[in-house]
Amino acid sequence: MKTVELLESGKISLYDGLEKIILTSSLSDLAYVEGRKTAHDLGFDVWKKLKPSDERLKQKLGLKNLYTNSQAFPDFMFKSRVNNGQLVGGEILELKDAQGGNIASFNSTIPTEYKTLKEIERLNGQKGKTVIKIAELLDENSKNAEWRIYKRKCFYMIRTHKKHQDKIRVSIVDGAFFETIPERELIPSMFQNIFDRHAGEYEIPDNIREDARQVFRYLTDHILISFSQDITNASIKPRLRIMAEATKEGNPHWREYGIPEKTFNLIIKADGEAKIVEDIIKKREMRIQKHKIKHRNDGEFLVFSYRVR
DNA sequence: CCTATAGGATTCTTACTGTT
DNA sequence: AACAGTAAGAATCCTATAGG
């Protein structure tokens, strides 16, 4: 909502860096900022409230420089709130910026509807601790017992045709839009596909084929897959990375979904939460259009769409 | 303390295919 | 034949951290 107001007043534009758009509208609500250096260069100080000059801050975090980009997941995390004794909020936001019409590849981190901090710590490997430590300092609720393990909603801020004045679109998209089957099934299916490709080159008996299928059921963990592999006598260590591209159905900016150009959109599942958003828009009398998307693989989504002048 | 490295990250280009 | 959209491929950079 804040972002729409800022767009309306001209303080930010759809062509600005995605980081700048988020920092301008939400800096004080953030519990984690991945690009501390980028933010600093733009004139935002992530540590403002915590005395950035304080040497103890660096020590606590084990960082030499407080203004670095960690290059870890996610790009942003919002602060959590307590509602009726329950932790809520704390949303994850990942940015994807692209020159063309498709969404920039997901690299290493497969998009999902929810993630816990514990999962984020693990998937970041060596860098996981830093992400948690920063969030602990910036989020007042970090002492809460649920803080690391409650499910946080993931959103993806995507921009397509970022340099085309007439084609540009920016959307904040519910992770559910991309996660139409769980990672647990996705990765085994991927190995199954690879295996099937080999069937053209080798005669593979049916029992082997079935055994392979059973084996692939256990290959589910992208983190374990992505380590570089020590191979006896090999002088190189191969690394398998899972990169992912959204299919056309998985791209909310697909033409057939009909989202207009030059818009800033919020795209969420059509459920109870959507009603809350609708009420806010009505109350504030904002210039926002509502559309529906029938996702080819995943039910109905609502699009709250603001068109820039 | 210092250095090397593992493991984190994104975007552009090209080839191909179907359409006008 | 030009064009547009899609799938596949290729190219590097950065930093926390472990280990010497």
pLDDT one-digit tens code per residue, A211-253: 999 999 988 888 888 877 777 777 778 888 788 888 888 889 8
Are both A15 and A105 inside the same structural domain? yes
Tell me what pLDDT residue A89 has. Answer: 93
Same domain, A229 and A249: no
In this structure, is residue A199 part of a structural domain? yes
Residue A185 lies in a domain: no
- Nucleic strand C near CB of residue A54 (< 7 Å): no
Q: Is residue A184 part of a domain?
A: no
Q: What is the pLDDT of residues A2-41, one digit of tens each?
A: 788 888 888 888 888 888 999 999 999 999 998 888 888 8
Shared-domain flag, residues A235 and A251:
no
The pLDDT value given to residue A122: 84
Q: Which residues are within 7 Å of strand B by their Cβ atom? A: A 71-73, 75, 94-100, 104-105, 107-109, 123-127, 223, 226-228, 237, 243
Domain that holds residue A203: 194-243
Regarding whether A106 and A213 lie in a shared domain, the answer is: no
CB-CB contact of A102 with A251 (8 Å):
yes
Rounded, the Å distance between the CA of A269 and C1' of C3 is 36
| A134 shares a domain with A61 | yes
Q: What is the mean pLDDT of residues A134-138?
A: 89
- Is A29 within the bounds of a domain? yes
Residues A28, A7: one domain?
yes
Number of domains in chain A: 2
pLDDT at A256 over 90: no
Whether residues A168 and A259 fall in one domain: yes
Nucleotides of C under 7 A from a protein CB: 5-10, 13-18
Q: Which residue has the higher pLDDT, A228 or A200?
A: A228
- Whether residue A78 sits in one domain with residue A13: yes
pLDDT at residue A149 tops 80: yes
Q: A164 and A49: one domain?
A: yes
A276 lies in a domain?
yes
Does one domain contain both A76 and A122? yes
Domain co-membership, A24 together with A139: yes
Q: Would A189 be classed as within a structural domain?
A: no
Residue A186 included in any domain: no
Mean pLDDT of A94-122: 86
Confidence class for position A106, pLDDT limits 50, 70, 90? confident
Question: pLDDT band for position A52 (50/70/90)?
Answer: low
Nearest nucleotide relative to A128: CA against C1': C16
Query: What pLDDT, on the 0 to 100 scale, is given for residue A53?
Result: 66
Q: How confident is the model at residue A152 (pLDDT cuts 50, 70, 90)?
A: very high
Distance of C1' in B11 from CA in A112, Å: 22
In a domain, A228, yes or no: yes
State how far the Cα of A240 lies from the Cα of A222, in Å rounded to an integer. Answer: 9
State whether A234 and A144 are in the same domain.
Answer: no
Q: Which nucleotides of B are covered by protein (CB under 7 A)?
A: 6-13
Q: Which residue has the higher pLDDT, A128 or A156?
A: A156
